Copies of this chain bind each other. A is one copy, B any other.
């Protein structure tokens, strides 16, 4: 392996990750090969192999740089906050690159422990943040919840995720409103 303090090493690593993300977006995960990354990034194939001997590890790394901004910093009124968060998730899932990364993560997690750890990390953050927000909403008497800590994320995000990946259509305001309503009965603060 090269030296992480060597600027050429750092540069080629960044170029490889960029190329991997671009190939994933354009052609799907099967296009993320050492050969295609080398051509796309304009560097030698041996350099790609030196950084990532296996492309599945490279894919996982490329995906790990996708930020997880959702359900952070909840604010009252919680109903409006949840609506805006679910709308933001729905908009993200309208981008083919986000969808490609999400389905690749979900698929590779079945046979790759490193990818499974990343999947679990994402899922746990979403579950914990949403549960904490809905608990706050309940304490402020804005929500009489119908979901629990264990089901809140699946009930709120699941329909939007299904709409994006299986129905391949935008989550409209009607669907998002039903997702918000599935959390329980809302009262204006």
**Taking the full assembly, how many copies of this chain does it contain?**
2
Q: Is the CB of B107 within 8 A of A166?
A: no
Would you call A159 and B154 a contact (CB within 8 A)?
A: yes
Closest to A182 in B: B182
- Which of A5-13, A77-85, A167-175 is the contact stretch? A167-175
A163 — which chain B residues lie within 8 A by C-beta?
154, 158
**CB-based contact A174/B162 at 8 Å:** no
Contact, CB under 8 Å: B153 / A162? yes
Which residues of the other chain, B, contact A147 by a CB distance below 8 angstroms?
A: 178
Of the residues B29, B110, B157, contact of A28 by C-beta under 8 Å: B110
Are B162 and A158 interface neighbours, CB within 8 A? yes
Complex contact A181–B103 (CB within 8 A): no
Contact partner of A103 (CB less than 8 A), chosen from B103, B120, B158, B171, is B103
Contact, CB under 8 Å: B178 / A155:
yes
A49 in contact (CB, < 8 A)? no
Q: A148 an interface residue at 8 Å Cβ cutoff?
A: yes
B residues less than 8 Å from A55 (CB atoms): none
Which residues of B lie under 8 Å from residue A168 when comparing CB positions?
109, 116, 119-120, 123
20 contacts between A and B (CB under 8 A): A27-B111, A28-B107, A28-B110, A96-B110, A99-B110, A100-B111, A103-B106, A103-B107, A119-B166, A120-B168, A122-B166, A151-B174, A151-B175, A154-B167, A154-B171, A155-B159, A157-B166, A158-B161, A158-B162, A161-B166
A: which residues have CB within 8 A of B? 27-30, 54, 96, 99-100, 103-104, 106-112, 116, 119-120, 122-123, 127, 146-148, 150-151, 153-155, 157-163, 165-168, 171, 174-175, 178-179, 181-182
